[in-house]
Structure 1
Amino acid sequence: MKLEQLYVNNSNQLLQDYRDQKESIGSFFHFKNEQSSFEERLSDLKNHPVRRLELTKIIRKYMSQLESTPKIEKHLDELEKDAVLVIGGQQSGLLTGPMYSINKAISVLLLAKEQREKLGVPVVPLFWVAGEDHDLDEINHTFYPLSNRLVKHTYTEDGIVKKMASAANLNYEALHEWIEQLFIQFGETAYTKELLANVLHVAENSDTYTTFFVKLMNGLFKEQGLLYMDAADADLRAYEAPYFKTLINHSEEIAAVVTAREAYLEELGYGSPIGATNNAANLFYVKDGERHLLTRKDGYFMNSSIGVKFTREEMLDLADDEACFSNNVVTRPMMQDLVFPVLSFVGGPGELAYWATLKDGFELLGMKVPIFTPRMNVTYVTRETVANLQEIGITAADAINGAVNQLKAKYDEEIYDQEAKTAIEEAKNLLSKQYKVIQQHLKEHEIKIERIVDKNLEFHKHQFDFLMKQIEKDIRLKHSVAFKRFEQVENELLPAGGFQERVYTPYPYLNQFGEGFISGIMALPLQTSYKHQIVYL
């Protein structure tokens, strides 16, 4: 493997301004993303009230379902004593979901390692799985390329559409078939048989989206010592009871300040990522594995669609007795900071937008927004793509910055038969002129078949258009090898016009390179930075 780092064009203005540390966006956070902030945040965390023994016990119990390693045990021991955390998280996608899940995990591991060395204290990496999310349509599929187009491969099962990912039970037979059909598209390699057997074994021993996700992720990163926690874990929710009470008691104030902060964010041109409202409770009520968003009205916390209405006192009792609440995008970061000693949170541009609305809400709870570290963007480049890039005459960096589409359009223009098009257009014009003569003749002799003549003219024009399309098709066929090069590069590096990491699961690469895929990446001289990481495989 070889690493190249470069700056790429960034279409997300909020992220770009955060990277450039512009004052307009910096005012939305307590810390800049620079080393002095890590030292300041570490000092603040000395006064952070963490129930370490109880918390670590919950994490140990959750991770008992996973294969452990000495590094995992070391990190658990450190967390029990005095370690701080670097945290990132993601939804429970099938086959880990898009590759930004593993890129985020790599970012968390890398930042934790860097800060451990710089600060001289234990810094532990933790992946907080968003198992409480219930939009399964976001996580029940993946994509693969077929004949230079993207195919969506979806796992479907009746009756679990509204369930949280951690409560949505998987049907092993249906999942088994889904996995096998997908692996057929990956093709047979020296690693396929073992990799497929491992994935099917994990699937057979996973009851929900979340367990399937976490077990696969742990298989990839266990040697790196990455810890996991599910936001929907029952023991964690019971642990969070006093913090849910805090969020309930401050619900009205949190909604007001977040709504005001988001309005200011929109005023500066960054949009409204949350759609915050003053009557939002920013909590879900969980019943039978389904989440129902609560609002506040007339002193009640309620959801009229399922007919629930609670007083504040009832909400506080429920937090103690039933652990039946779940956080939304506003309260999840706050709960995370109440539970864990968070040195830094690693997130993507969408999460950055959410977090930019939360500063005043954190302050209401006597906290500061942790250092937000943008996750790394990584693009993986196979040897086939390198060869095609060389034939085209551009670099991977050029391709990621959009050069492929421009070159393909230029090449298309160069091979286009303009003479044939001109001749056909002239023939169509002559035909139209002759038909005008015919129409005039018919009019003079009161022969009323104008519609038939018009239809006849359109028919012949369509025939000329069909002829031009056949010429274009034949030309493209003669140059199909060149076009396939363009399309292969686009499909791998910029599928559907976006970064690779937002579309593909890592399993085609694991199928091609085996378990050494992850260890090889971790052995590269990666550094947390705003540069785009290009990994040549």
Structure 2
Amino acid sequence: MKLEQVHVENSNKLLQDYRDQQATLSSFFHYKNDQTSFEQRLKDLAGHPIRRKELTAIIRHFMSDLASSNKIEQHLNELEQDAVVVVGGQQAGLLTGPLYSVNKAISVLLVAQQQREKLGVPIVPVFWVAGEDHDIDEINHTFSTINGRLVKHVLTDSSKVKKMASATLLNHQKLAEWIEHIFSQFGETAYTKKLVEETLEVANNSVSYTDFFVKLMNDLFKEYGLLYIDAADPALRQYEAPYFERLIEHSEEIAALVTARETKLDELGYGAPIGATEDAANLFYVKEGERFLLSRVNGSFVNNAANLHFTKEEMKKLAHEEACFSNNVVTRPMMQDMVFPVLAFIGGPGELAYWSTLKDGFELLDMQVPVFVPRMNISYVTRETEHNLQAMGITAAQAISGEVAKKKAAYDKKIYDDEAKQAIERAKQLVTTQYKEIQEHLAAKEIHLERIVDKNLDFHQQQFDFLMKQIEKDIRLKHDVAFKQFMQVESELLPAGGFQERVYSPYPYLNQYGQHFIENIMALSFEVSDKHSIVYL
């Protein structure tokens, strides 16, 4: 493997301005994304009121069914003592979900290790699984490429009830069939049989989407000591009871502050990522695995559709007695900071947008927004892709920046038969002129066949168009190798016009390069920066 880190033009203005530390956007955060901020944040965490033994016991229990390692035990012990954490998180997608789940985990591990060395203190990597998310349609599928065409493979579920990922039980027979179908799309390699067997075994021993996700992720990263916590874990919910009480107590103020902050963000041209409203409770009520978003009406917390109505005092009581609340995008970062001593949070552009609205809410709770570190963007270049890039005379960085489409358009123009097109256009014009003469002649003779003549002309025009398409098809066929190269590179590096990491799971690469895929990636000398990482496989 070979690593190249390059600057790639970024179309997300919010992310670019954050990286450039634009003053207008920096005012939305307590810390800049630089080394002095890590040092200051560490000092600010000195008095963080964390119940370490209790929290570590919850994580140990949650991870008790997972394969352990010396690094995992080391990090658990350090967290129980005095460590701070670097946190990142993601939904519980099938086959780990898109590659950015893996890339985010890599970012968490690298930032934690980097800051451990620079600050000289124990820093533990934590992956916060969003098992409370209930939009299963966002996580029940993966993609493969068949003949250059992107194909979506959905794990169908007959259930009409939208439960949390951690409460959505897997149909083992359907999941096994889905896994075998997916791997059949990847193609047979020396690693396929073993990988399929191991994936099926994990699936068979998993109960929910979250369970399946965490087991697969842990198999990839256990040697690096990545810890996991599920936002929907009942034990964590119980641990969070006093923190939910704070969020309930200050719900009205948090909503007002976030709404006002989002308005400022929108006025600066960054949009309104949350769509915050002052009547939002920013909490869900959970019942039998379903989540019901609450609003505030006349001092009460309600969801009329679910016939829910609670006073503030009833909400506080429920938080302790039933542990039945769940966070949304506003309160989740606040909850993370109350649960953990968070040195830094690793997130993508969407999360950066949410977090940009939270500064005043954090201050209300006597907290500060942790250092926000944009996760690394990583693109993986197979040997076939590298070969095709060389044939086209462009680099992977240029391809990721959209150069393939330009190259393809230029090539298309170069081989296009303009003479044939011009000849056909002249023929079409000539026929049109002749038919006009026919129409005029018939009209003079008072023979009214206008519709038949027009239909006849239209038929001939269609035949000319058909002939041109056949000429184009034949030309394309003669240059089929070149067009397949364009198609392969685009489908590999920019599927559906976006970064590879937003579409494909890591399993096509594990299938092609073996189970040491992650180990080989982690051995590369990554620089945690705003550069785009290109890994040649």
Q: Normalising TM by the smaller chain, what interval?
A: over 0.9
User: Which residue of structure 1 lines up, in the alignment, with residue 480 of structure 2?
Assistant: 480
Contact 1:129 1:231 in 2 (8 A): yes
Contact 1:88 1:345 in 2 (8 A): yes
* Identical residues among aligned pairs (%): 70
Q: Quick one: which amino acid aligns to residue 335 of structure 1?
A: M
1:247-396 equivalent positions in 2, closer than 5 A = 247-396=247-396
Deviations 1:157-189 (A, max 9, x none): 111551100000010000000000000011111
SS in 1 for 2:133: coil
Contact 1:28 1:357 in 2 (8 A): yes
Contact 1:166 1:209 in 2 (8 A): yes
Shift of 1:448: 1.2
User: Which residue of structure 1 lines up, in the alignment, with residue 116 of structure 2?
Assistant: 116
Long gaps (5+) in structure 1: none
Q: Quick one: which amino acid aligns to residue 430 of structure 2?
A: L
SS in 2 for 1:427: helix
Contact 1:135 1:161 in 2 (8 A): no
Q: Quick one: which amino acid aligns to residue 450 of structure 1?
A: E
SS in 2 for 1:125: strand
Q: Distance between the aligned counterparts of 1:415 and 1:508, measured in 2?
A: 34
SS in 2 for 1:4: strand
SS in 1 for 2:228: strand
Q: Distance between the aligned counterparts of 1:250 and 1:261, measured in 2?
A: 16
1:528 paired to 2:531: no
Deviation larger for 310-319 or 211-220? 310-319
Q: Quick one: which amino acid aligns to residue 166 of structure 1?
A: S
SS in 2 for 1:21: coil
Q: Distance between the aligned counterparts of 2:353 and 2:259, measured in 1?
A: 13
User: Which residue of structure 2 lines up, in the alignment, with residue 225 of structure 1?
Assistant: 225
Deviations 1:191-215 (A, max 9, x none): 1111110100000000100000000
Q: Distance between the aligned counterparts of 1:216 and 1:527, measured in 2?
A: 26
User: Which residue of structure 2 lines up, in the alignment, with residue 204 of structure 1?
Assistant: 204
Shift of 1:445: 1.1
Compute the RMSD of aligned alpha carbons.
Answer: 0.6
Q: Distance between the aligned counterparts of 2:160 and 2:44, measured in 1?
A: 43
Shift of 1:67: 0.5
SS in 2 for 1:50: coil
Contact 1:136 1:161 in 2 (8 A): no
1:467 paired to 2:486: no
Q: Distance between the aligned counterparts of 2:233 and 2:142, measured in 1?
A: 26
SS in 2 for 1:166: helix
1:77 paired to 2:42: no
Q: Distance between the aligned counterparts of 1:514 and 1:146, measured in 2?
A: 21
Q: Distance between the aligned counterparts of 2:191 and 2:241, measured in 1?
A: 46
User: Which residue of structure 1 lines up, in the alignment, with residue 512 of structure 2?
Assistant: 512
Q: Distance between the aligned counterparts of 1:230 and 1:293, measured in 2?
A: 19
Q: Distance between the aligned counterparts of 1:107 and 1:527, measured in 2?
A: 10
1:130-209 equivalent positions in 2, closer than 5 A = 130-159=130-159, 161-209=161-209
Q: Distance between the aligned counterparts of 2:193 and 2:23, measured in 1?
A: 53
Q: Distance between the aligned counterparts of 1:277 and 1:240, measured in 2?
A: 25
Shift of 1:143: 0.6
Contact 1:63 1:228 in 2 (8 A): yes
Shift of 1:455: 1.1
Q: Distance between the aligned counterparts of 1:532 and 1:318, measured in 2?
A: 46
Q: Distance between the aligned counterparts of 1:309 and 1:303, measured in 2?
A: 7
Shift of 1:451: 1.1
Shift of 1:288: 0.9
Q: Distance between the aligned counterparts of 2:39 and 2:481, measured in 1?
A: 55
1:436 paired to 2:462: no
SS in 2 for 1:8: coil
User: Which residue of structure 1 lines up, in the alignment, with residue 90 of structure 2?
Assistant: 90
Shift of 1:287: 0.8
Shift of 1:527: 1.7
SS in 2 for 1:277: coil
Alignment CA distance shift 1:496-1:58 (3 Å):
same
Q: Quick one: which amino acid aligns to residue 316 of structure 1?
A: K
1:15 paired to 2:15: yes
TM-score, scaled relative to structure 2: 1.00
Q: Distance between the aligned counterparts of 2:240 and 2:258, measured in 1?
A: 22
Q: Distance between the aligned counterparts of 2:436 and 2:405, measured in 1?
A: 42
Q: Quick one: which amino acid aligns to residue 242 of structure 1?
A: P
User: Which residue of structure 1 lines up, in the alignment, with residue 49 of structure 2?
Assistant: 49
Q: Distance between the aligned counterparts of 1:287 and 1:429, measured in 2?
A: 71
Alignment CA distance shift 1:160-1:335 (3 Å):
farther
Q: Distance between the aligned counterparts of 2:425 and 2:139, measured in 1?
A: 50
Alignment CA distance shift 1:88-1:150 (3 Å):
same
User: Which residue of structure 2 lines up, in the alignment, with residue 35 of structure 1?
Assistant: 35
Q: Distance between the aligned counterparts of 1:442 and 1:305, measured in 2?
A: 70
Contact 1:160 1:168 in 2 (8 A): no
Q: Distance between the aligned counterparts of 1:19 and 1:513, measured in 2?
A: 34
Q: Distance between the aligned counterparts of 1:22 and 1:424, measured in 2?
A: 56
Which of structure 1's runs of 4+ aligned residues deviate more than 2 A?
none
Long gaps (5+) in structure 2: none
How many positions carry a matched residue from both structures?
Answer: 537
Q: Quick one: which amino acid aligns to residue 520 of structure 1?
A: N
Q: Distance between the aligned counterparts of 1:311 and 1:454, measured in 2?
A: 75
Q: Distance between the aligned counterparts of 1:161 and 1:303, measured in 2?
A: 17
Q: Distance between the aligned counterparts of 2:474 and 2:360, measured in 1?
A: 63
User: Which residue of structure 1 lines up, in the alignment, with residue 127 of structure 2?
Assistant: 127
SS in 2 for 1:314: helix
Q: Distance between the aligned counterparts of 1:135 and 1:517, measured in 2?
A: 30
SS in 1 for 2:443: helix
Contact 1:359 1:368 in 2 (8 A): yes
Deviations 1:53-91 (A, max 9, x none): 100000000010100001100000000000000000000
SS in 1 for 2:306: coil
SS in 2 for 1:32: coil
Q: Quick one: which amino acid aligns to residue 4 of structure 1?
A: E
User: Which residue of structure 2 lines up, in the alignment, with residue 246 of structure 1?
Assistant: 246
Shift of 1:246: 0.2
Q: Distance between the aligned counterparts of 1:44 and 1:87, measured in 2?
A: 17
TM-score, scaled relative to structure 1: 1.00
Q: Distance between the aligned counterparts of 1:153 and 1:61, measured in 2?
A: 33
Q: Distance between the aligned counterparts of 1:123 and 1:14, measured in 2?
A: 28
Deviations 1:295-346 (A, max 9, x none): 0011110001111111111111111110000000000000000100000000
Shift of 1:220: 0.1
Shift of 1:414: 0.4
Deviations 1:8-53 (A, max 9, x none): 0100000000000000110000000000000100001111000001
Contact 1:300 1:310 in 2 (8 A): yes
Alignment CA distance shift 1:378-1:161 (3 Å):
farther
Q: Distance between the aligned counterparts of 1:432 and 1:226, measured in 2?
A: 72
Q: Distance between the aligned counterparts of 2:474 and 2:314, measured in 1?
A: 73
User: Which residue of structure 2 lines up, in the alignment, with residue 407 of structure 1?
Assistant: 407
Shift of 1:275: 0.2
